[in-house]
Amino acid sequence: MIEAFFFSGVAIGPTKPALVLLCCIGTWLAISSSSFGAPISKTHLKNTIEFLKLESKELYENYRRDQASGISVDASLQLPCFSLGREALTNISIIKAHLEKVKVLSDNIVDTTKVTRWLENISCVNPLNLKISGPGDKPYAQKKFVLTVLKRFSDCMAGLQAKDSIC
């Protein structure tokens, strides 16, 4: 039986090398994860895009039906439609910022947490932490903004096709 002895809070024996190894493996795993730039598999990318297509459509349709009935989208508000390439980081960051604003303006009625997490998962590096200004404090303008962002995001995802890689 291998035992470790502790003397004044310091590990002596085989425990110390095991702790060093554990720390090194943890660091290596963290660096190798997809959010730190490791390529994701084609299957994972395809599944993520399919999830985003379904979720974005559902978010839009539910909000339009339950919160914004009779409100039309704002033609002047444009949202980038990211493509799976080098510009994905910038576009995902902008989309993510808009979705965060949607969540705030809707008082968390529209929960975009899962969608933004999936967007981060398919990004080659961590998306930029951007902030955008909203439409002000008028409820109608806020609903129009939320509806437009959800519509643009849903349309973007509907046309997106998976490739072999995102980067």
In a domain, 167, yes or no: no
The pLDDT score that the predictor gives to residue 57 is: 96
| Cα 61 to chain centroid, rounded | 20
d(CA 111, CA 115): 9
Judgement on whether residues 71 and 27 belong to the same structural domain of the protein: no
Query: For the whole model, what pTM was predicted?
Result: 0.70
The pLDDT score that the predictor gives to residue 136 is: 85
Judgement on whether residues 80 and 127 belong to the same structural domain of the protein: yes
Mean pLDDT value across residues 9-21 = 47
Q: What are phi and psi of 80, to 5 degrees?
A: -65, 145
In a domain, 100, yes or no: yes
Domain span at residue 20?
Answer: 5-32
Task: Report the alpha-carbon angle 144-155-149, nearest 5.
Answer: 25
